[in-house]
């Protein structure tokens, strides 16, 4: 019996559950030098206007383990991407784009007019994703990232949803 379909199923994106937070903290630790604990994520999740979306394997048999996650914060008619993280072993499979598409769809439905984010100017993969989604650079913060592969410049980007 062949299970080729098992590996080719696109991930599903849904709201994170409290029991996901330790695994999301592990993903964050694998992606960033400054690690967030499950407690940090729980405190963020409890804030008004914050939503955590998680991408999972779409497997009816076996694990539905998180592959990555996105944290958004809404305030009035604006939103901010707090972070997006895809486990390093899962990168290059479109999971980040799927998370961003789901998050932007949700924000559009919530009548947000603009979405902002900050990204390390040296993070070419993230810049490719964000520019492909239509984000435009609207500012810079020099020396913002201390653990950058570049000069630490953060690009402030915006996407107009309306």
pLDDT at 10 (0 to 100): 79
Which carries the bigger pLDDT value, residue 62 or residue 132?
132
pTM, full prediction: 0.90
Which residues, 6 or more positions from 43, have their beta carbon under 8 angstroms from its beta carbon?
A: none
Mean pLDDT of 139-160: 86
* Nearest residue to 24 via CA among 100, 112, 76, 83: 83
- What residue ranges do the domains of the chain occupy? 10-111, 113-162
Q: Distance between CA atoms of 69 and 4, rounded to whole angstroms?
A: 25
Cβ neighbourhood burial of 63 (10 Å; 0-12, 13-18, 19+) = exposed
Which carries the bigger pLDDT value, residue 43 or residue 7?
43
Return the residue matching tokens 């955590």. 52
Region 10-111: CATH code: 3.40.630.30
Q: How many CB atoms lie within 10 A of CB 155?
A: 22
Q: Distance between CA atoms of 42 and 156, rounded to whole angstroms?
A: 26
Mean pLDDT of 45-66: 87
Torsion angles phi and psi, residue 56, rounded to 5: -125, 155
Residue 48 corresponds to which tokens in the numbers above? 């008004």
């Amino acid at each position: 019996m062949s299970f080729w379909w098992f590996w080719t199923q696109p991930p599903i994106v849904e709201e994170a559950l409290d029991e996901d937070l330790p695994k999301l903290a592990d993903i964050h630790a694998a992606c960033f030098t400054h690690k967030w604990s499950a407690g940090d994520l729980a405190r963020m999740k409890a804030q008004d206007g914050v939503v955590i979306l998680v991408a999972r394997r779409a497997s009816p048999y076996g694990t539905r383990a998180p592959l990555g996650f996105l944290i958004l914060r809404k305030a009035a008619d604006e939103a901010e991407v707090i972070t997006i993280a895809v486990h390093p072993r899962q990168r290059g499979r479109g999971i980040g784009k799927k998370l961003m598409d789901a998050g932007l769809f949700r924000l559009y439905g919530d009548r947000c007019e603009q979405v902002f984010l900050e990204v390390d100017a040296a993070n070419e993969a993230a810049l490719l994703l964000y520019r492909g989604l239509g984000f435009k650079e609207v500012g810079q913060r020099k020396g913002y990232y201390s653990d950058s592969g570049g000069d630490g410049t953060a690009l402030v980007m915006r996407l107009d949803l309306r």
